[in-house]
């Protein structure tokens, strides 16, 4: 059926083409006859139909083959395209994996570097830590040396107050008064005394044994002369004239024994009062060699740089360094967390140290208050009658 339709269409096309293109009339050499009944024409017609049918079959085969080839080509192209797309997808996944691995490696390296930097900061000493350690050692060493100064002064002042052998009061109270007067004239001659011809004045040391600045005017005394001036001021402040010693028959009698009991109470109170002042002197006596940082701190405070200082002087330099030193403040701003925590720990340790020193002072104040209370209580007590001391005789 399909072939018949194609043949009819082809034949119609030939006829239409002849009409359209104004083909000339065919000059038939054969006579006109009935095509159906004419064997020759039937054969010719059959041949034409066969030729057309074969032509159409060839055309169909060619078109089918071409379409088949095109389909195969398209199929191959599509297959290749999908394959390439899949390859691209796999390559993209691999690229993402590499990018992720590289990112993870970079982040791990970064985090490791941060941790290494933190470890370095935690284990690297700050210059300020070294300065604090040096100053702290100077303070503790000077505290030990100050204790020796206080002990040495106390041993002499206690014997003096007790009027022991070798002291001025051992020979009598008049001798004690003469000794303290002679000491003043030899070291601290005033203008009036110089005008009276008693001594030769030294304006820089005039009446230093009477001025509180000799005791607490500076954080560190200037050498032995400064210590002597402070000690002599303390002597005039607490016990300028020592009562005479009880000796011989005056000591062995009953009245002498009673007086000696009261004298021991007097000596104890004087020893306590003098020990408090001796502590002040010892804290300001030169007892430690200063470091370069401490000398620089002296210069920053406008003080004269010295080779040595006292316990109080060294402690004051360290406190002032943390309170107002520009270099320390700048270093504090740039300290990492670990270093800052160590500095806080050093501050706490210094606070504890100062707190311990305050505790010692509080104990001294408590002892002084106890002595004052005892003295006031004793003064308030008035005996109702005076009883003679009994004389003890052997059987």
Q: Mind listing the pLDDT tens digit of every residue in the chain (395 residues)?
A: 444 444 444 444 444 444 444 545 544 444 445 555 566 777 877 888 888 888 887 787 777 777 777 777 777 777 877 788 888 888 888 888 899 999 999 999 999 988 888 777 777 677 788 888 888 888 888 888 888 999 999 999 999 999 999 999 999 999 999 999 999 999 999 999 999 999 999 999 999 999 999 999 999 999 899 999 999 999 999 999 999 998 888 888 888 889 999 999 999 999 999 999 999 999 999 999 998 889 999 999 888 899 999 999 999 999 999 888 888 888 888 888 888 888 898 889 999 999 999 999 999 999 999 999 998 888 887 665 565 666 655 54
Predicted local confidence at residue 310, as pLDDT: 94
299 occurs within a structural domain? yes
Q: Which residues contact 315 (CB under 8 A, 6 or more apart)?
A: 139, 354
Predicted local confidence at residue 45, as pLDDT: 76
* Contact between 327 and 114 (Cβ < 8 Å): no
Predicted local confidence at residue 284, as pLDDT: 95
Predicted local confidence at residue 131, as pLDDT: 83
Predicted local confidence at residue 393, as pLDDT: 58
Residue in 240, 347, 242, 220 with CA at minimum distance from that of residue 286 = 220
Question: How many beta carbons lie within 10 A of that of residue 339, not counting itself?
Answer: 19
64 occurs within a structural domain? no
21 occurs within a structural domain? no
278 occurs within a structural domain? yes
Q: Which residues pair with 289 in a beta bridge?
A: 308
Predicted local confidence at residue 325, as pLDDT: 87
Helix, coil or strand: residue 218: coil
Predicted local confidence at residue 65, as pLDDT: 73
Q: What is the chain's length?
A: 395
Predicted local confidence at residue 134, as pLDDT: 83
353 occurs within a structural domain? yes
216 occurs within a structural domain? yes
305 occurs within a structural domain? yes
3 occurs within a structural domain? no
Structural domain containing residue 333: 128-372
Q: Which residues contact 310 (CB under 8 A, 6 or more apart)?
A: 142, 146, 219, 220, 221, 283, 284, 285, 286, 287, 288
Predicted local confidence at residue 50, as pLDDT: 84
* Contact between 256 and 246 (Cβ < 8 Å): yes
Residue 289's H or E segment, with its range, is: strand 288-289
Instruction: List alpha helices for the chain, DSSP H.
Output: 2-20, 39-123, 127-161, 173-187, 191-195, 213-216, 223-238, 249-252, 254-284, 292-300, 311-324, 326-333, 337-380
* Cα 234 from Cα 158, distance rounded (Å): 13
Q: Domain total for the chain?
A: 1
Predicted local confidence at residue 109, as pLDDT: 92
Predicted local confidence at residue 86, as pLDDT: 83
């Amino acid at each position: 059926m399909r072939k018949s339709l194609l043949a009819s269409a082809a034949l119609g096309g030939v006829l239409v083409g002849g009409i359209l293109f104004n083909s000339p009339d065919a000059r038939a050499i054969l006579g006109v006859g009935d095509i159906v009944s004419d064997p020759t024409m039937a054969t010719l017609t059959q041949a034409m139909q066969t030729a057309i049918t074969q032509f159409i079959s060839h055309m169909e085969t060619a078109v089918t083959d071409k379409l088949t080839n095109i389909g195969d080509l398209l199929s191959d192209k599509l297959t290749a395209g999908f394959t390439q797309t899949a390859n691209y997808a796999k390559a993209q996944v691999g690229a993402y994996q590499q990018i992720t691995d590289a990112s993870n490696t970079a982040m791990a390296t970064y985090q490791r570097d941060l941790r290494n930097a933190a470890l370095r900061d935690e284990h690297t000493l700050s210059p300020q830590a070294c300065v604090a350690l040096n100053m702290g050692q100077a303070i503790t060493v000077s505290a030990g040396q100050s204790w020796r100064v206080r002990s040495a002064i106390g041993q002499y002042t206690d014997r003096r107050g007790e009027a022991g052998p070798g002291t001025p009061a051992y020979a009598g109270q008049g001798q004690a008064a003469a000794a303290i007067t002679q000491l003043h004239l030899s070291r601290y001659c005033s203008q009036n005394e110089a005008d009276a011809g008693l001594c030769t004045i030294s304006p820089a040391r005039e009446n230093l044994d009477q001025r509180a600045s000799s005791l607490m005017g500076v954080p560190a005394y200037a050498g032995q002369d400064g210590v002597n001036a402070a000690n002599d001021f303390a002597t005039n402040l607490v016990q300028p004239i020592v009562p005479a010693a009880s000796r011989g028959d005056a000591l062995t009698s009953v009245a002498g024994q009673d007086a000696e009991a009261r004298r021991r109470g007097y000596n104890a109170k004087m020893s306590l009062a003098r020990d408090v002042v001796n502590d002040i002197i010892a804290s300001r006596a030169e007892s430690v060699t200063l470091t370069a940082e401490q000398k620089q701190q002296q210069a920053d405070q406008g003080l004269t740089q010295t080779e040595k200082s006292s316990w109080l002087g060294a402690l004051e330099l360290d406190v002032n360094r943390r309170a107002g030193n520009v270099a320390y403040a700048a270093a504090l701003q740039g300290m990492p967390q670990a270093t800052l925590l160590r500095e806080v720990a050093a501050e706490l340790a210094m606070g504890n140290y100062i707190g311990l020193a305050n505790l010692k002072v509080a104990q001294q104040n408590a002892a002084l208050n106890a002595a004052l209370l005892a003295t006031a209580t004793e003064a308030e007590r008035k005996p109702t009658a005076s009883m003679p001391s009994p004389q003890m005789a052997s059987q």
